[in-house]
Structure 1
């Protein structure tokens, strides 16, 4: 059959319709893909928010627990022996929910341990980031806070060390010039003030060195009884148990601690009530050192602040009676550097300070 000469027009029209249908189908597929991708993104976004929200997960567990318990109770009502299996099932579901909740709130325990370490001044401690929720964000902020505080303290320590070292030279020259002044009350007062400044600088340097803890010590075997006998002076009574064990300590730092405790006790002691008591007693494998006076003691509200740098109770704020507020601080640092703790309490009457050396 002979083909009509205009049949190509119908073919072109058919091809145009076919191309138009293909373009429409392509646009429909692209539109469906975009919609599906958009819903996929929304689902991921909501899922991420759900995982980040501790409250949302707790609510989901409570809803799941309530629905599961309702289904179990509804199913057991139609069975004569429903209670025999419903009670264990409810206990099992409740235990499962409790385990999930405990797993979610377990990082709070790590935060509590970190807060306790920060309270002790251990800013090198880091809280583990267990979950990526609000508690995880809090742990990250805890660690950042610890790093910032540690950097601030390191800068403060470096500044104090630099200032203390720089002050030693002019202080030594001032003392030499003061000794050239003629004898008299002015000279004695000037030398006394310079000696107090020297003690302050020495205490500052020693406190900053002890801030690094055990690494600042030079440990060796030492007899604490011999160190205690070196402190013998009027107004002091020694009570030393026989056959005390030899302990590993830094002799110079413990001697400084012992001297500060004894001088602090003598400064506040009431001689009419009795002499200052210096005692050494065996405690386990170590030795406990105790210094007690019979003075007025310390107000109970001031006990937690004792041992802090430059802190002095109200009764000891006079220039000649209260010191500069670094004696007990140095004693605390020495005790902590040796792995112990300076214990302070009112003895009624008097005041008692003790340290255990292992």
Structure 2
């Protein structure tokens, strides 16, 4: 409904109605004033003529003189049927001799009634113009406004088509569109340029998908062969490690596909509730943490209830834990919840730059430092933004604390109502 009130078509229709109403009102009052002015002038004119006719009658002028005088002024005899009624209403008194002139106002106009002992004749001004031309001008103006309104709407109709095509591009549903050979106005020129652009977008999108699928295929082929070879290793410990590495490489390709879909706005967010313990278990698996070594992750709120897209959120938390372990002083990380925020904490020096700087792809603290956050923080930022979460950073008591706001539903979940761990899906392009 809000879109309808803000629509340019509604505004143009409203403007047309206002213009039409204004033109009609202007025409009505103009014609009304014109009629009233003419009636006033006619009343003065008729009074003067009647006075002159009565003077002629008093001076002995007969009916012929009066008729000639009226004829010279442009008056004509009225033949309408209502004149008989006027004759009956205005009978000459008995014994009156001569000619008498009277003014008669009727719904049909102003007339001069000439009477003598023998006859009564009704006259009207034959020079008085008609108002038909004003009505015709009003009608022509209304038709012109309507024509311009229809013409403008017809010119703007391509905007609806253009809007739907833009919406399709926004949802990545791009089809090849034929452009018009002879565009007639600026809107069609704009539509043509947009159609050319949309065709390029479709071509780029198809080439991107082909390129990514080719890379994934070429990567998965040696991984599969390596996995088969690893199964032939006789040493059980080495076999498990190799199989775990190849499985993780295969999972990384799936993660890469999910991230690519997320960045290109083709991924559908599927939020669900899960406990923090299941999330950290998944991130440990993704980080290939050696179970034989001391656990570097301390989880203080294992039964906190989280609501997010499990797979994407696990990728974000994995990157944050990896950064915390890699750049911390002791290689350890502590995870807990606080209100509606999930906190990831490690010992270390404060960040040298603002948090927004680290969200840039392949950001490094300095030119001499070959190590940096790579795409990790960039991926984290995209994942959190798409789920409407906010990332906050503070440094206190020698600790770096990253807080993801808005993801925690409860800080403790009753084990009886503990939700099941979400199932993982294989992502494909």
TM-score range, shorter chain: 0.3 to 0.5
Query: What TM-score do the two structures reach when normalised by structure 2?
Result: 0.38
Report the structure number with the largest CA radius of gyration.
2
Query: What TM-score do the two structures reach when normalised by structure 1?
Result: 0.43
